[in-house]
Structure 1
Amino acid sequence: MKKTDSLPQSIPELHALILALQEEKLSLKKENATLKQNYERVLEQFRLAQQQRFSRSSESNVLQMELQFDEADAIPAVELPTEENTLTITYTRNKPKRRPLPDDLPREVIEHDIPEHDKHCACGCLKQRIGEEV
């Protein structure tokens, strides 16, 4: 801070100095406010970029969850008139069935066999044939 010796001694000069300091203070406050706004804006852009780059890519976003509209609270409950003679129709769906192949189609049975030395396992027992029931 300045020494008191360098301050003006006359009252009008002191008033002018006080007014100049107040104007400087106001301009610095305005500049500070604009800098804070710019900082907040840049910080929000950074957070949004980080979220878009590194967060989950699904629709369930934490920020979106806070903004959801809750219809149950906003719309008042309306009682619907109940009818005592309501008719309820129920049925079961038929499962789709696989139709068998026509009998006139030729059928060929192809058996794939392995060599005799592969039909025995390491212990010497005969391996069981797959699809063959004993």
Structure 2
Amino acid sequence: MTAIPETTTTVHLDVPLTLPTDDGGTFRVRQPIGAHRTQTEGLVVFPALIDLYDFDESRWHVTHVDTGLRLPVEFDTEEQAAAFAGAVGPLVDWTQPRPALPVDVRMQVMELALEHGGRLDQRVREQYDRRNATPDGGGE
């Protein structure tokens, strides 16, 4: 990725988007968006992308710049999303093209998301609940 001057508040990146087809299937495209910088280099926030041209500003996502992949959580406000991005900053080097996220770090990220008012995606919530269902937190 090309370095972005610190004075730039908007970062342009391509995010993957899955679109429905008329036959009931789906296909993936990469949609260019303008996202807002956070205090954590490598993470940006933007309102939920609901199709190629529409955003939902009542739902905010945190996305890794190099991959364009969002963290599996959403927030009600940009401020909550940005605060979460700041909180997870020290856990991983988010400037890496593919940051390493071992299980213990993923659990910390999920806990911080919940602490900052985030809603985990269903699949991730189920993983989180399973890991916390045992006395040692190690899953089944």
**Structure label with greater radius of gyration:** 1
Larger helix proportion of the pair: 1
Larger strand proportion of the pair: 2
Report if TM-score (shorter chain) is over 0.5: no
| Greater relative contact order (CA < 8 Å, ≥ 6 in sequence) | 2
